[in-house]
Structure 1
Amino acid sequence: MPTRRERIISLLEERDYSPSELARALDLHGKGSVKIILEDLKAIQKILKRDGKVLLIKPAECRNCGFVFKPEIKVPSRCPRCKSEWIEEPRFKIESK
C-alpha cells in the first residue's frame, strides 16, 4: 500500500490541488489535517528535486482585494493589504522538467 506522500505525489501528477482538497482526497479529517499536508508537501518538494521534477505553486490570493501572496508552501491566514481572512489557498501540481 502506498504511503501518504506517495499518494499525494500521484494525485498532484494528475492535476492541481489545494491543501484542503488533498486532505479530503486522502480522507484526513480534523483541525491539523492541512498542516500535515503542508509538511508532506515540503518533503515532497525535496524528493521531486532529486528526481528531476518540480512542484509548481500557484500562490494564495485574497478574495477580497486580489492581493497575491508569495508562492510558498503555506496557507496565509490574513491579507496584509486589507486584513481580510477570505483567502484562496495556494494550489500545487507536479511537473516534469
Structure 2
Amino acid sequence: METETTRQRIAEALREGASTASDLGASLSLPTPVVYDHLDHVSRSVAESDGTEQFLVAPPECRACGFDGFDDPVNEPSRCPECKSERIAEPQFVIR
C-alpha cells in the first residue's frame, strides 16, 4: 500500500530533478491537466514551508520565435501570442 499522496510523489520527483507536466504524468500514470492542478498546490506548499526550498519554473517557450513571456508560466499555452505558432515547449518545474 502506498502511503505517499500524489502531490508528495510529484514533489519528490521534482526534488530529484527538473521535469515537465507531461513527463510527470507519464511516470505517475496521470493525465497532464491533473498534474498541472497538483503542481499549483505543490508550489503553494513549498512557498508556505520553512523557506529552505523553492519551487522554480522554467517558463514555456515558443520554438518558432523564442518568446517566453507567457502570462501564466505554470500552464501550457496552446499558441504563441507573438507569432501564433503552436510549437510551444512545455514549462519545466523543479524544487531546490
Question: Shared topology, TM-score over 0.5?
Answer: yes
Tell me the residue number matched to 1:41: 39
What is the CA–CA distance in structure 2 between the aligned matches of 1:92 and 1:56, rounded to whole Å? 6
The runs of 5 or more residues in structure 1 that have no matched partner are none
Tell me the residue number matched to 1:16: 18
Listed one character per residue, the Cα deviations across residues 20-43 of structure 1 (whole Å, up to 9, x for unaligned) are: 001001022xxxx11111110110
In the TM superposition, residue 69 of structure 1 has moved relative to its aligned partner by: 2.9
Structure 1 outlier segments of 4+, above 3 Å: none
Pair 1:69 & 2:66 matched: no
Tell me the residue number matched to 1:57: 57
Paired residues, number: 91
TM-score, length of structure 1 as denominator length: 0.88
What is the CA–CA distance in structure 2 between the aligned matches of 1:74 and 1:65, rounded to whole Å? 19
Q: Percent identity at matched positions?
A: 37
What is the CA–CA distance in structure 1 between the aligned matches of 2:61 and 2:43, rounded to whole Å? 21
Pair 1:80 & 2:78 matched: no
TM-score, length of structure 2 as denominator length: 0.89
The runs of 5 or more residues in structure 2 that have no matched partner are none
